Amino acid sequence: MIDDKVKIKCTKCSQIFRERAQKIRNGFQTNCQHCNRLITFDTSSEDNNIRRALMSAKEVRMALEARPKEGSVAQV
């Protein structure tokens, strides 16, 4: 089973927390769970932690979409 959460490293406190990959998209905002800093996910951000989280979330979403559905398997 594929884990649908992505690790995010806060730039301010350097702590790592996790968020669902379906939520993390360009323009999404969340607060760090440790220091409560507002983190805005933007593809043009200079912060490597934000860009890394966006790329990881995109990869997880593509992997989840590519896997076959359990209920749609053809019966022979």
Does pLDDT of 50 surpass 80? yes
Rounded-to-integer distance, Cα 24 and Cα 21, Å:
5
- State phi, psi for 2 to the nearest 5 degrees: -85, 130
Using 50, 70 and 90 to split pLDDT, how confident is the model at 35? very high
Mean pLDDT value across residues 43-68: 93
Does pLDDT of 69 surpass 70? no
| CA neighbor of 32 nearest in space, from 46, 15, 48, 49 | 15
Domain boundaries, the chain: 5-66
Q: Which pLDDT belongs to residue 63?
A: 92
pTM of the model: 0.82
Map tokens 């992997």 to a residue.
63
